[in-house]
Amino acid sequence: MVQRSSNAEVMSMDLSPKMPAKAYGGEGGAYYDWSPADLPMLGAASIGAAKLHLAAGGLSLPSYSDCAKVAYVLQGAGACGLVLPEAAKEKVIPIKTGDTLALPFGAVTWWHNAQGSDAELVVLFLGDTSKGHVNGKFTNFQLTGANGIFTGFSTEFVARAWDLDQDSAAKIVSTQPGSGIVKIAAGHKMPEPRAEDRKGMVLNCLEAPLDVDIPGGGRVVVLNTANLPLVKEVGLGADLVRIDGHSMCSPGFSCDSAYQVTYIVRGSGRVQVVGIDGTRVLETRVEGGCLFIVPRFFVVSKIADDTGLEWFSIITTPNPIFSHLAGKTSVWKAISPAVLETAFNTTPEMEKMFRSKRLDSEIFFAPN
């Protein structure tokens, strides 16, 4: 059982957005992750976060993780090899910008950027570390490579397990390529991605029907068990939000005890988070590439700069529910006028004026 941080601990934590640090890599690409030492809320929320960058011809070697994850393709196109637990055959999934995949426990994956690609393939991973080895950080287990499973077993065990002679076993163990990521040799043919393998495995957030569409304000696609059933196994919901220049996202909170983990995909803007006792616990600027976490029940709002703001979030429940404090769906619109007059200690005229605003806006507010 994961022990939750106390209110005082959460209120004192540094919630400011952070960039990841390089963990390993080489000619084929690099793997970056966020550390709970730099972003304490990762540990408090039991969330891991990492990014994979693959150059043309780069291959992230087959591995599995101690955590269930959501993967989001930030940039580029390529292939994801996926072997689900107890599956007899791998799926070779063509992937592109905007694709989201749910990766349950025990899934073995490899990722590849085509040899002739003119762009990096960049994939974001966000997941639940509550059952992992290190709270707030993914632990990946390489099946091959310099730090892979083969290299840990003795030649005798490898020979017995895979029915090899000693010389062949020794050769396999000693010729494993670099750690985690390699570059495919020129002319080496990789398996062709199969369009049919996308079915039920991928939702493209840039092409999916919009759950919210406010002209001049913003758009939302929500990932849940309805449009990607594997989300149930992963235990996480997600959404992609895009707001236009100078638009505002209504102050709101997750009303089902979930943490919201937000990666800024592109653009820039301002963020405020208000916590316990009306304390503003975060006021900062965000830009593409940074990550921050909103504690349970804390209220968050964002205003985009003139370039607009786009973010991808996971929420630590597969079907999240949010309450908004402004707009036509605001809880203020449902509370009795007499209660609001007293609660705000104001006049009936002021309460009426307050209630009459934002009747035609929902969640996102375009600039005046």
pLDDT interval class at 324 (50, 70, 90):
low
Task: State the Cα–Cα distance between residues 258 and 261, nearest whole angstrom.
Answer: 10
| Average pLDDT rounded to a whole number, residues 268-280 | 93
pLDDT at residue 33, rounded to an integer: 97
In this prediction, what percent of the chain has a pLDDT beyond 90? 61
> What's the count of helices (H) and strands (E) in the chain, helices before strands?
8, 23
Are residues 64 and 143 in contact, defined by beta-carbon separation less than 8 angstroms? yes
Whole-angstrom distance, CA of residue 243 vs CA of residue 222: 15
CA dist., res. 165 & res. 36, Å (int): 45
Residue of 145, 123, 127 lying closest to 78 (CA atoms): 123
Look at phi and psi of residue 304 and say left if phi exceeds 0, alpha if psi is from -120 to 50, else beta.
Answer: beta
The Cβ of residue 94 has, within 10 Å, a number of other Cβ atoms equal to 16
Condensed to tens digits (0 to 9), the pLDDT of residues 151-205 reads 888 889 989 998 999 999 888 888 776 678 999 988 899 999 999 999 999 999 9
Which tokens in the block code for residue 4?
A: 């939750």
**Inter-residue contact 138 to 65 (CB < 8 Å):** yes
Helix (H) or strand (E) holding 161: helix 155-161
DSSP code, position 15: -
Across the range 16-24, mean pLDDT stands at 96
Lowest mean pLDDT among 70-74, 102-106, 117-121, 330-334: 330-334
Longest CA–CA span in the chain (Å) reads 89
Amino acid at position 16, single letter: S
Comparing CA positions, the residue from 254, 256, 299 lying closest to residue 276 is 299
Q: Indicate the helix (H) or strand (E) that contains 310.
A: strand 299-315
Residue 120 token pair: 């990096």
Q: Provide the token pair at 45.
A: 């929320």
| Residue 38, pLDDT score | 94
**Torsion angle of C-alpha atoms 32, 36, 42, 46, degrees rounded to 10:** 100
In whole angstroms, what is the distance from residue 169 CA to residue 117 CA? 35
Report pLDDT for 11: 65
Residue in 174, 179, 191, 85 with CA at minimum distance from that of residue 140: 179
More confident of the two residues 252 and 306: 306
- Cβ partners under 8 Å of residue 341, min gap 6: 347, 348, 351
pTM recorded for the entire structure: 0.89
